[in-house]
Structure 1
Amino acid sequence: MKKPASEKNPQSIWLDTDIGDDTDDLFALALILASPELKLAGISTVFGRTDERVRLARTFLAINGRETDVPVHAGCGGHIPCTMHTWMSPQPFWPNGPVQGAPIAQIGCAWPEERFTTPPSAHGVEALAAHLRAHPGQTIPIAIGALTNLATLLLREPELKKTIPRLIVMAGEFKTPKWEWNVRCDPLAAAVVFDSGIPVEIIPWEIGVSCTVSRVQLERLFAGGTRIGRFLTRAVRLWRKAKYTPGHAAMPHLFDPMAVAALMRPDWFTWRRGRVSVSFAPDTFGYTRFTADARGPHRVAWDVSAATAVRATWARMLSL
């Protein structure tokens, strides 16, 4: 196993994100920017209104003084076509219709396009491909949304999988039989990534839901008073307004920050090696399944020292 990233030896990463819905994507980006162990080579957005997600990411970079040195690219807004067939008729995997056009909860935090000093750049898949070709074996993609961009990259240019030393993804659920959001948004993409042969480290739903920010920790953010703190405070309040009934004081889960933390502090997690697959059966469509295999290409985080992880991650984020 490779040594974790360190300040003396920063690890190049690429963040693939559906930033703007739940707050954990913004928290993951904040953790990256606050971590000298990591070098953020670029960001690509995924799943619905990816241009708006770009504006949100660029806004957060700008208020951190990082707008010009971290490129942000709009990636795939849809999903790889996938229909589950029943004996009666085909039906889309979202029975209530597509959700890619749904409003982004935190877009109210984003600057208008004209405020940025550089114009929008290449498509996210093309930008990641170009970066991997230029820096083979050096950059670890961290995917914290649907896996559409990564799957599209591997389908278009399968030879590029040799340039990816490993992937870290927030995806899947293994301890209970049900689907997880990032996989369900594009199950075929998840299958492409998991079947690619690339080593993948997986932070599943169970890990993130156990890493919940406390009321006291959230109040520390609200009371911080810094420009970045005010931005994140507004994002949390917009998230609550969009997702919950008025007055509901939901506490954020750190799903996506744990994917970032796994690169720096793998010792916080208990890992199991094996193979992860995606079900396409009608009654378990989009479910993920883990099979233990000492030679498997996947490592799944099975448990986490949650109190330690949340405390250290939150403190690092608030240091911005």
Structure 2
Amino acid sequence: MGGRFIKSDGLPASEWNIHCDPAAAEIVYGTDVQLHTSMGLDVTFQVVMDSMQVKGRFQHPLLKPVYEMSRIWFKDRPLLRFHDPLAAVAIFDPFVCDYTTGTVSVKRDEGRSDGVTQWHSDHPGSHRIASQVYLISFSNPIFLYSIRISL
């Protein structure tokens, strides 16, 4: 999970993971690999639940600790976003998202724009970004796999 590839109102210019170490991100995206898949904020921001949804979905004994931790989160925020869980689910179910291939570069600048990821769909490359998430596909595995673990 890292980057923001499609201009979206209301999202930060640079995603936190990339912004924290843009030099490392520049090295990672500049490395020649066969395939580099990224889940950007523009997609992960769509995977969201409010406190009532979390309370209703996190009743299995394995998910109760997650629910308890989320209560602290909801004291200051209305929504819980599943940035990293989406990336994890996509490892096992790549069809949870649609993808687009091209090239990613990392903009180096001062301030909050340092670490902006720039998407170049017109440049053939080994980078693949998630361009759409299928929320039903995402929701089912994360909760069903958790329940199956206890059987």
1:311 paired residue among 137, 140, 151: 140
One-letter identity of the residue aligned with 1:306: L
| Counterpart check, 1:275 vs 2:67 | no
| Counterpart check, 1:183 vs 2:18 | yes
How far, CA to CA, are the matches of 1:240 and 1:205 in structure 2? 20
In the alignment, structure 1 segments of 5+ residues that lack a partner are 1-169
Matching of residues 119-268 of structure 1 within 5 Å: 170-176=1-7, 178-198=13-33, 199-213=35-49, 215=51, 217-224=53-60, 226=61, 228-241=62-75, 244=76, 248=77, 250-268=78-96
In the alignment, structure 2 segments of 5+ residues that lack a partner are none
Deviations 1:245-273 (CA, angstroms, capped at 9, x unpaired): xxx5x232111111112122212211111
TM-score of the superposition, structure 2-length normalised?
A: 0.80
One-letter identity of the residue aligned with 2:15: E
Aligned length in residues: 143
Secondary structure of the equivalent of 2:45?
A: helix
TM-score of the superposition, structure 1-length normalised?
A: 0.41
* Over 6 Å off, 4+ runs: none
CA contact (8 A) 1:273 1:296 kept: yes
Structure showing the higher helix proportion among its residues: 2
Deviation for aligned residue 1:216: 5.1
1:286 paired residue among 115, 119, 128: 115
Deviation for aligned residue 1:315: 3.1
**Which structure carries more relative contact order (alpha carbon 8 Å, separation 6+)?**
2
1:297 paired residue among 116, 126, 137: 126
